[in-house]
A and B are shown apart, each in its own frame.
Chain A
Amino acid sequence: MSAYVVRRVISMIILLLLLTLVVFILFSLLPADPARLTCGKGCTPEVLEANRHKLGFDLPVIQQYWEFMKGLFVGRIYAADSPSPVVCNAPCLGYSFKRGEEVLVLIKDRLPPTIWLALGAFFLWLAAGISLGIYAALRRGRWQDKTVMGISLAGYSLPSFFLGLMAIFFIVIRLQLLPYPSYVSPFENPIQFFQTMLLPWIVLAILYAAFYMRLTRNQMLEVLGDDYIRTARAKGLPERVVIRKHALRAGLTPIVTAAGLDLAGLLGGAIITESIFSLPGLGSLAVNSVNDADLPVIVGITLVTATFIIVANLIVDLLYAVIDPRVRLV
Chain B
Amino acid sequence: MVKVALIDGPDSLTGSEVASRSLRKIVWTRLRRDKLAMVCLFILIALYLIAIFAPVICGLLGVDPYSFDKESISDSGGGPVGTWGGISTEHPLGVEWGTGRDIFAQLLYGLRISLLIATTATILTVFFGTVLGIISGYAGGKTDAVIGRTMDLILAFPFLLIILAMSGVLTQRLTALGVPDGNPSRITYLIIVLSIFGWPYLARIVRGQVLSVREREFVEASIAMGASRYRILFKEILPNLWAPILVYATLTLPTYVGTEAALSFLGVGVLPPDTSFGGMLGNSVSYFSVVPSYLFIPGVVLVVLVVTFNLVGDAVRDALDPRAGRV
Contacts and interface: CB of A to CB of B under 8 A. Distances in A.
Contacts of A254: 9-11
Nearest to B267: A291
Interface string B303-321: 1001100110010000000
B254 interface: yes
Nearest to A299: B165
A160 B261 CA distance: 10
B281 A161 contact: yes
B311 A290 contact: no
A22 interface: yes
A204 B285 CA distance: 19
A29 interface: yes
B71 to A, nearest CB: 29
B248 to A, nearest CB: 15
Contact of B10 (A173, A207, A214): A214
B1 A271 contact: yes
Contacts, number: 154
B155 interface: yes
Interface residues of B, number: 52
Contact of B1 (A169, A273, A290): A273
B265 interface: yes
Interface residues of A, number: 62
B303 A157 contact: yes
Interface string B231-269: 000000000000000000000001000100110011000
Nearest to A168: B288
B10 A302 contact: no
Nearest to A140: B327
Contact of A18 (B12, B153, B169, B306): B153
Contacts of A214: 10
Contact of B302 (A15, A162, A305): A162
Interface string B150-181: 00110111101110111011101100000000
**Most A Cβ at <10 Å: residue of B160, B254, B281, B314:** B160
Given A140-B327, A270-B1, A272-B266, A157 B310 contact: yes
Interface stretch (A93-101, A146-154, A237-245): A146-154
A69 interface: no
A215 B8 CA distance: 11
B326 A262 contact: no
Nearest to B257: A159
Given A258-B9, A272-B266, A298 B149 contact: no
Contacts of A290: 161, 164-165
B98 interface: no
A215 B153 contact: no
A271 B161 contact: yes
Interface string A303-317: 001100110010000
A56 interface: no
Contacts of A268: 158, 161
Given A26-B166, A268-B158, A271-B161, A161 B265 contact: yes
B289 interface: yes
B149 A271 contact: no
A265 interface: yes
A153 B156 contact: no
Nearest to B310: A157
B61 interface: no
Contacts of A232: none
7 contacts: A156-B310, A157-B303, A157-B310, A173-B289, A208-B6, A222-B11, A268-B161
